[in-house]
Every structure is written in structure tokens, then in C-alpha cells.
Amino acid sequence: MNQLELICALPKAELHVHIEGTFEPELMFAIAQRNQIDIPYQSVEEVKQAYNFHNLQSFLDIYYAGAQVLVHEQDFYDLAWAYFEKCVEDRVVHTEMFFDPQTHTERGVAFATVINGLQRACDDAQTKLGISSNLIMCFLRHLSEDAAFATLEQALPYKDQIIAVGLDSSEVGHPPSKFERVFAKAREAGFLVVAHAGEEGPAEYVWEALDLLKVNRIDHGVRSEEDPVLMQRLIAEKMPLTVCPLSNLKLCVVDDMAQHNIRRLLQQGVKVTVNSDDPSYFGGYMNDNFVAISQALDLSNAELKQLAVNSFEASFISAEEKQKWIEQIQALG
Ligand code: ADE
Ligand code: ZN
């Protein structure tokens, strides 16, 4: 089997995808029109031309603007359903997706509207497409600790539908320590926890996510490589890093895919996984990310398989489910 055939055949879990980041311009236009909301673009081409980011903040400004057209439960359903259809194409059989309730509740959209729409899509994905999924609720780190506490409070009635809490948005200047107390309360309530750290922020933020937030996974974490002691800890603890190669390229975390450190991290024994982050904005979904690193870094079939195995090992599914998928991966050529 050649690399492309293997990438397509591998079952995969996606552990780092922001559902608002899967919003394709065509769907954005359709939903804006039916909700009679003006967007500052005349055409799909104009939207795509606006996607010339040079760092995380310049991306986030456009990402939050796009999300403003989401108002009704059906909008959230349609958004998630479109993503699940991409999962089918890419053989993503399980996904743990982020949603940002504060982006919506701040504009007067009810928490229930957001989660009910997403949950209905997740239920349909299981019954109609055979794709399993979990929701991870992220706190926006550029907002206050109080706002995060209020969001956690709103999530408690939906505890059974939210597997974990996460931390996203503008990283630099908003370290994990800002949310230490919120995460303690979330853990007490029974949520698993993840956090974006070491994307644009320093390795120090990864230490904080581990020591203060007590995360089960680190999202991104690519800057951990700058700290050899941290690297030893990640390896010893088998701490997963959910790496997003095309995102890193688009947001200039790396200048060139050939310089991406995912292969080095893998070779050193870090449990790295491949993910799309915000695929509508960064030029591709799961398999596009696999193809990009496979070509730029000349990955072997064994390495591609290891990345797929890692995605299940790092996921929040049961040990039996993990075993089932890992056996399927190992049986491939
Ligand atoms: N929100 C959506 N995508 C993000 C990313 N790559 N980093 C931080 N926050 C985000
Ligand atoms: Zn992300």
C-alpha cells in the first residue's frame, strides 16, 4: 500500500477540532441569508481572500466574526453535520470536538440552543454514519475567570453530554494559571480536562497546564520541544499532544512544513496525534493534514500507523473500543 492509500484506509480519531472552525464559507453564506444577518463579504471568494492570517490573533478575529451568524439550534446542527460528512470522507471514526459557548452566549444565544443542536448532530452521526463523538467545552481564555465560572455553571445541567472542558483563544498573556480555580471546580464536577498550551505561548504554559490545570491532554504543545526537562516529563507520563500541522503552518508557528517537529516528537516517544484544528480556515481536514506531513517529512508507513494508533490511545473512548480500532490499524499493510 502506498502512503496515500494507507492514509485513506487508516481509521482515525480526531481530538482537536473546533466545530466553529469547520464553518465552510458556502454554509456561512447560506445560514447568514436565512437568518438575515449581514456579513462583510459579497462572495465565497471574498471570504476566502480574507483568510490571510499571519498569527493566532489575526485568525481569531475572523473566526469569531464568522460564528456570529449562528443563531438557531438548526444552525449548530447543520454546522456539525457538515463536519461529520467530512469525517466519513477521511475515515475519522471517532471525534472529540471543541465548542466555544461564550462566543454564542455573549450574543444572547442560549447555551441550550448551542448544545442541543450539536448533540442532535452527534446522535445522528452515530446512528446514520456510525461515527462516535464527544463534546469538549472550551473556555475563552481572553475572557475573565468569572466568565469561565459562569459558563461552567451553565454546563452543569448538561454534564452527561460534555466529556471534558478545554481552554482556547488568545494564548499569549492568558496563561493556564488564570483558570486554575475554574479547572479545579470542573474536575471536581467530574469533567476531564484539556488545554491549548505551547502553540504560540512558551513551554512554561505547558508546565502550568500539567501542574495547575492537571490536564489529561495538551492541545498543540509543539513548543514543548524548547524545554528538554518538559520533554522527558511528557514522554514519561505518556501525555498526548494533539498536534495540528496545517494550522501551525497557516498561523506561522512554523515557516515551512519540512521544519515541523511532529516527526521528531514522534521519534522521541511523545504521544503525538494529527488533527485539523480549524479545517475550513487552514486548508484542510484530517487527511489533508496527514498528506501534508507525510510528504514534507517523508513519513514511513509505520509512522503513519503509529500516529493513527496514538489518536485512539489518547482519546477518551473505552479500553475495549481502543483495542478494536488499534487491531484494525495493525492489520493494514
Ligand atoms: N480557537 C480556535 N482555534 C484555535 C487555536 N488554534 N488556538 C487557540 N484558540 C483557538
Ligand atoms: Zn485549537
Q: Is residue 240 part of a domain?
A: yes
- Predicted local confidence at residue 40, as pLDDT: 87
Place of cell 482519546: 315
CA of 131 to the centre of ligand 1 (A): 24
Q: Is 16 annotated as belonging to a binding site?
A: yes
Q: Considering the domain boundaries, does residue 320 fall inside one? A: no
Q: Does the beta carbon of 20 sit less than 6 angstroms from any atom of ligand 1?
A: no
Q: Dihedral sign, CA of 198, 225, 257, 297?
A: negative
User: What pLDDT was estimated at residue 284?
Assistant: 98
How confident is the model over 25-57, as pLDDT tens digits?
999 999 999 999 999 888 889 988 989 888 999
The percentage of residues in the chain with a pLDDT greater than 70, rounded to a whole number, is 100
State whether the beta carbon of 137 lies less than 6 angstroms from ligand 1. Answer: no
Nearest Cα residue to 197 out of 216, 175, 179, 230: 175
Straight-line distance from the first to the last Cα atom of the chain, in angstroms, rounded to the nearest whole number? 6
What is d(CA 264, CA 267) in angstroms, rounded to the nearest whole number? 5
In a domain, residue 282? The reply is yes
Q: Which ligand is nearest to the CA of 63?
A: 1
Average pLDDT of 127-139?
98
Q: Is residue 321 in some structural domain?
A: no
- The Å distance, Cα 115 to ligand 2 centre, comes to 19
- Phi/psi class of residue 91: alpha, beta or left (left: φ > 0; alpha: ψ in -120 to 50)? left
Is 106 a member of any domain? yes
Cβ-in-10-Å burial (0-12, 13-18, 19+) of 2 comes to exposed
Residue 204 is assigned to a structural domain of this protein = yes
Q: How many domains does the chain have?
A: 1
- pLDDT, tens digit, 9 for 90 and up, residues 175-188: 999 999 999 999 99
Cα–Cα separations (whole angstroms), residue 65 to 36, 69, 109, 192, 246: 15, 8, 15, 29, 21
Enter the DSSP assignment of 128. Answer: I
- Which ligand gives the minimal distance to the CA of 251? 1
pLDDT tens digits for range 2-32: 999 999 999 999 999 999 999 999 999 999 9
Quick one: which atom of ligand 1 is closest to the CA of 244? 6
For range 318-327, the mean pLDDT: 98
Alpha carbon of 270 to ligand 1 centroid (Å): 22
Kindly report the CATH number assigned to the domain that includes residue 165.
3.20.20.140
Q: State pTM to two decimals.
A: 0.98
Reply yes or no on whether the pLDDT at 333 is more than 80.
Answer: no
In a domain? residue 81:
yes
pLDDT at position 171? 97
Structural domain harbouring 20: 3-315
Is the pLDDT confidence value at 73 over 90? yes
Residue 211 is labelled as binding a ligand:
no
Q: Which of 55, 59, 246, 254 to mutate to test the pocket of ligand 1 (most atoms within 8 A of CB)?
A: 59
pLDDT, position 218: 99
In a domain, 96, yes or no: yes
pLDDT of residue 72: 98
